[in-house]
Amino acid sequence: MPDLRVLVVDDEPLARQRVLDLLDRQTDVAVVGTADTGRTAVSAIAEHQPDVVFLDVQMPGLSGLDVVREVGPERMPAVVFVTAYDQHALAAFDVAAVDYLLKPYDDDRFAQSLARAREAVRLREVDALRDRLAALLGPERPAPSADFLERLAVEMRGQTRLVPVEAIDYVSSDGPYVEVHVGADVWVVRERMQTLEDRLDPARFFRIHRSTIVQIDRVEALLTAPGGDYAVRLADGTRLRLSRSRRDAFTQRLGIDATDSG
């Protein structure tokens, strides 16, 4: 396996060195660079193309969250936020961070974050391979199979319910679990996104983003944002991000011209 390429970003030299020392113990990690400001972090990400970035939240100029917005979530490597303030944790996950480290952290907690980052990189590589294979195969859809789910077991308030898959609007990832959206209801499923995707009929469902699977019949339009990002609008008005790498294949599946939507 190639080395895991890591960038370390923190405006405090001691905090930066702490991460470097812990990474130095890993035989399969290559530190490709460091940065001490948000602005230099943006440049370093573009230059070094790391797999993982340990990113301080509080920095002069651009904060860690600003760095993600500047680079763009779709183009960011796997992110582990480092922060001294717990209130930033939720905001970190809102921009798709793999994990966050609350200062001061011990060696075991750092190892846990690094393991999560490794897994995120592995899953991202699997997704990229699937996208390349799909592009080679073209718009052909897999043949229906009796093995695909017809009902899905979901959990809420200590109860387990069976929800017909035809009722699902879309599915989104939430850490190690996924959330199933049915109208105004949101149900938790203790299953990984990739596993659930494999069990849903691809004639009815499409993964439009690494963190979103949508029921195709629910899609009303494709949208293009001013910055060049893409989204889909569902019949109920919900807007969901559409990955650039999946846009062409999804447009073919819908049979519509994306330039005419919005």
Instruction: Tell me the per-residue pLDDT of 107-133, one tens digit each, with 9 for 90 and over.
Output: 999 999 999 888 888 877 656 555 555
Domain count for the chain, please give it: 2
- Spatial distance between the Cα atoms of 31 and 39, rounded to a whole number of angstroms: 19
- Spatial distance between the Cα atoms of 140 and 163, rounded to a whole number of angstroms: 28
Chain centroid to Cα 213, Å, comes to 12
Task: Look up residue 15 and give its two tokens.
Answer: 């905090």
199 found inside a domain: yes
Structure confidence at residue 43 (pLDDT): 95
The answer to whether residues 55 and 81 touch, using CB atoms and an 8 Å cutoff, is: yes
Q: Which helix (H) or strand (E) holds 17?
A: helix 13-24
Selection from 163, 166, 173, 237 nearest residue 207 by Cα? 173
Q: Are residues 17 and 55 in the same domain?
A: yes
**What is the arithmetic mean of pLDDT over 46-69?**
90
Task: Look up residue 67 and give its two tokens.
Answer: 């760095």
- Helix boundaries (H) for 49-102: 64-71, 88-94
Domain carrying residue 22: 4-136
Tally of helices (H runs) and strands (E runs) in the chain: 7, 15
Domain containing residue 198: CATH number: 2.40.50.1020
- Spatial distance between the Cα atoms of 84 and 236, rounded to a whole number of angstroms: 40
8 found inside a domain: yes
**What is the arithmetic mean of pLDDT over 229-253?**
84
Q: Are residues 131 and 155 in the same domain?
A: no
143 found inside a domain: no
Tell me the CB-side half-sphere exposure of residue 242, using CA atoms within 13 A.
25
What is the tens place of the pLDDT at every residue in 74-108?
Answer: 788 888 989 887 665 555 555 557 888 888 899 99
Comparing 138-152, 162-176, 191-205, 212-226, which segment has the lowest mean pLDDT? 138-152
Q: Are residues 85 and 123 in the same domain?
A: yes
- Spatial distance between the Cα atoms of 75 and 69, rounded to a whole number of angstroms: 10
Q: Are residues 161 and 255 in the same domain?
A: yes
142 found inside a domain: no
Q: Are residues 120 and 155 in the same domain?
A: no
Q: Are residues 216 and 179 in the same domain?
A: yes
Q: Are residues 131 and 159 in the same domain?
A: no
146 found inside a domain: no
